[in-house]
Amino acid sequence: MFKKILIANRGEIAVRILRACRELGIRSAAVFSEVDRKSLHVRLADEAYPIGPASARESYLRIDKIIDVARRSGCDAIHPGYGFLAENAALPRACADAAITFIGPSAEAMEALGSKTAGRQLARRSDVPTVPGTNDPIEDPEQASALAQSMGFPVLLKAVAGGGGKGMRLVTAASDFASAYRDASSEANNAFGDPRLYLEKYLVKPRHIEIQILADNHGRVVSLGERECSVQRRHQKVIEEAPSPIMTPDLRKKMGDAAVRLARAGRYTNAGTVEFLVDTNLNFYFLEVNTRLQVEHPVTEQVTGLDLVKLQIAIAAGHRLPFAWETITPRGNAMEVRLYAEDPDNNFFPSPGKILTRHAPSGPGIRLDDGVYEGWTVPNDYDPLLAKLIAWGNSREETIARLRRALAESTITGIRTNVALFRRLLMEPDFLKAEIHTKWLDELLSGPKKDAAEPADGSLEAAAIATAMWQASRSASANGAQSVEAEAPSRWKQSGRRDQVDRTL
């Protein structure tokens, strides 16, 4: 097993990985930009090293700096987490050159499957159904426009590199194509350093279902089942769950077989996710492969009882997978919501700032993967993901009930968050009936706002300020000043009113 692992990431995923290292008895080394010097992952790691200014291009995306720190600190492996360099084949190549183990797939497998166009080509050769579209990157906007018109609108422009909705644009008419192409290519270049795009036919109201796979270096490839990721905003996943409400044993086996077949064809190793779109007739189409750990991996962990990060580390160290696919059966139901520092009432604009107070939910069936703490300042330089709140239950209904309760317990002041949005979504009739698709949330948010909307997180901050004023008045009274205690509400009443507000939502 490894002696020390460098975690080439930040935030909650860096914390998640270093905790797995600590349980395995492996020392961890963190890296941080100037703005992340006081971050939680820096506090918890055994060692931490600066790698540059706030700009990701000058810090977390600098392979040379990552390798240099790994060498100087004596690390024998690097875990990339997700985002940043996690799907950049140049990192595993640099690791190989430096005799450092990369915890993930080989550079060759990453290029064969991680590239959206190469992945589609391999899927077709492997008899895996694919969404109609181009097989190769299109770098000429005029050629791309002509192909889009021949395919018929609507179409999707998608970045060849990366994922997470970056470098993606939906085009519904030829008149919008040129500007959409320019914007998607620019965003892809900024996010992944690769401006290339490809075209894909847009399916109307599909579901997004992905298969988690694991593959060791000894030829065993297994499917760990599916995750439903259809609740998305602008192609970015918002809520994930397992198992999928529409899944049947036959469909699970067919999709699992397809995912394993594709992984074998690409000589894939370590953890990965094969993503599909599923239409209303339960026909599935290959979408892409994420050659890394997913943000939503805790959902699979909760229903399988497996630790995917520990398994990643074990596979990279040369261990065999200790189980076969046939032994994996989903147990109960799990659901995850992504908590962001953003303002849903202001077009989800990022909300950086200092976290003044925070209460983390807990209790039966609740898990919180986070990377923040009270008093920390959320920077404006990176994705504003604060934490992932995961609930598990014996049924989908119990899971939703537990998630509602956990969200009601969750408070954070000083910044805006999307907690209120999730409280609303978990009450929506269509969501409760699992009648969702990839555009469901966008359509819901574009509709008229309900009168019974959740109060913004700022109301909780106001409550904290009111409590502080009350405490100040007591102190003034104790010093002989005129008492204003009778004018301030009691802490008991203040707490009761907050609870009463939550129950009306």
| Residue with token string 């009111």 | 466
Examine the residue annotation and report whether 292 is marked as an active-site residue of this protein: yes
- φ, ψ (nearest 5 deg) of residue 333: -135, 145
Over the range 291-313, which residues count as b (16 or more CB within 10 Å of their CB) and which as e? bbbbbbbbbbbbbbebebbbbbb
Count of CA atoms in the C-beta half-sphere (13 A) of 488: 18
Residues 453 and 38: their CA atoms lie apart, in Å, by: 36
Q: At 446, which helix (H) or strand (E)?
A: helix 440-446
How does strand 270-278 pair with strand 207-215? antiparallel
Yes or no: say if 270 and 104 are a contact pair by the CB < 8 Å rule.
yes
3-state DSSP assignment of residue 99: coil
- φ, ψ (nearest 5 deg) of residue 363: 105, 180
Cross-strand pairs, 30? 7, 48
Helices (H), 81-140: 90-97, 107-109, 116-125
Q: What radius of gyration, in Å, describes the C-alpha atoms of the chain?
A: 24
Of the listed 10, 62, 120, 292, which one is catalytic?
Answer: 292
Q: Collect all residues with Cβ–Cβ distance below 8 Å to 302 and sequence separation of at least 6.
A: 242, 332, 334, 367, 390, 392
Distance between terminal CA atoms of the chain? Answer: 50
3-state DSSP assignment of residue 241: strand
Residues 227 and 435: their CA atoms lie apart, in Å, by: 16
Query: What DSSP string runs through 478-502?
Result: HTTSPP-GGGSPPHHHHHHHHHHHH
| Residue with token string 């820096």 | 42
Helices (H), 286-395: 297-304, 308-316
CA angle 248, 251, 257 (to 5 degrees): 140
Q: Collect all residues with Cβ–Cβ distance below 8 Å to 75 and sequence separation of at least 6.
A: 4, 5, 6, 29, 69, 100
Longest dimension (CA), the chain: 84
Instruction: Report the catalytic residues.
Output: 292
